[in-house]
Structure 1
């Protein structure tokens, strides 16, 4: 069984502290995937990051799910405070309880919580599809001054994160491919 895992699609990511962003329609694409999963009666799991960092945008109102992907009654919500949705949570047990063997993953941000959760899911034996157009990256911390090189754009960060995951940890694909499946 394949579950949709929506990672950290939260209001706090609208805060300018994150810098410039790529893929402004990631939430809309995730919402379309969510409607597709709901329509098929397949498992949906929402992951929420509750930051423990003082001043983080991912607390209080910033922890709220964005309206495009708001959970409905009966859908699982996993709350975490680290990059992986598997660490310190009941995610793996919930997936086992539901009989899930495969995950379709999307969310924010590609090089952080999406990447970490994708890597762990694959290492735990789940088949993983990562939906490239339902994820996004930011330029926060993109200054690579440690090596004297130029800062990376959000698009470059996103593409690089996907390239590192594709083939080894996940099958990276567009939402259109998933939505066209019967």
Structure 2
């Protein structure tokens, strides 16, 4: 086993925010489950990552109870669960030590949000020498407001603002930024097809 699946921030915190209504893939947990099944069948390590902001009094504060895996996901016995407080899954955790202990050299990454915690983790992992596969359709994100937009936009105002970067465009640009530099871009179906035994 030299590969691990890193599932990043697929947690209830996102689902309780009003912004969830604009998420690019509300059924992301289904695609993550398919990747988890593939990893387990291949005997690969599955690492679960949750974003936590203790004391923040918002949805990422563990005291409020939302910092947990989405209910559709099930962590198996022995699969590591780590909590991060930075955008990437390495800086504030023991992830690199964990991967080294297991002899992991290749990572498959997925999760929320495409251009934020998942992309940042992919970039740091690449810089640390890991081979990275970014499963683009097993990530999800939201539209991004223009830098000059008010901070308190409603979802309707966010979507109506012509300066807003649509979620689909965020995903596309992330793909372009990573491909050939920091990661190999893959899809869930492509990985499933590659895992099928040759006839």
* TM-score after normalising by structure 2: 0.84
Measure how far apart 1:21 and its partner are.
1.4
Measure how far apart 1:27 and its partner are.
1.6
1:142 aligned partner = 145
Aligned residues: 180
The question of 1:76 aligning with 2:80 is answered yes
Measure how far apart 1:19 and its partner are.
5.9
Q: 2:141, 2:58 → 1: CA distance?
A: 17
2:190 aligned partner = 177
Kept after mapping to 2: 8 A contact 1:25/1:134: no
2:103 aligned partner = 99
Gapped regions of structure 1 (runs ≥ 5): none
Give the SS at the match of 1:117: helix
Q: Deviations over 1:147-175 (max 9, x none)?
A: x9711111111221222111100011111
Larger Rg: 2
Measure how far apart 1:20 and its partner are.
1.3
Q: 1:19, 1:124 → 2: CA distance?
A: 35
| C-alpha RMSD of the superposition | 1.9
Measure how far apart 1:79 and its partner are.
0.9
The question of 1:130 aligning with 2:141 is answered no
1:154 aligned partner = 167
Measure how far apart 1:128 and its partner are.
0.3
Kept after mapping to 2: 8 A contact 1:110/1:162: no
* TM-score after normalising by structure 1: 0.91
Change (3 A) 1:109 1:53: farther
